[in-house]
Amino acid sequence: MKKPKRKMIRLLQEEVIYYRQQAGKIDFRDATTDQLKMLFDFNRHEYETIKRIEKLRTEIG
């Protein structure tokens, strides 16, 4: 049962990297309202994904 959870953690980590890359492309100082909304969405998704990773890690032990 540990293998699927570890694979899921790896996929979620890749997802976090993607969100960080996308957020890094936005310069918030010159951003439009839509870009700021996207930035906050990326940050929220990143936070939720990290929480899921932590939960899976505690389940593995």
User: 3-state SS string over the chain?
Assistant: CHHHHHHHHHHHHHHHHHHHHHHHCCCHHHCCHHHHHHHHHHHHHHHHHHHHHHHHHHHHC
pLDDT at 2: 63
Enter the pTM of the model: 0.78
Q: Whole-angstrom Cα distance, residue 30 to residue 27?
A: 6
Whether the CA torsion 31, 27, 12, 55 is positive or negative: it is negative
- Name the 3-class secondary structure at 57: helix
pLDDT 10s digits, 1-58: 567 888 999 999 999 999 889 888 888 788 899 999 998 999 999 999 999 999 999 9
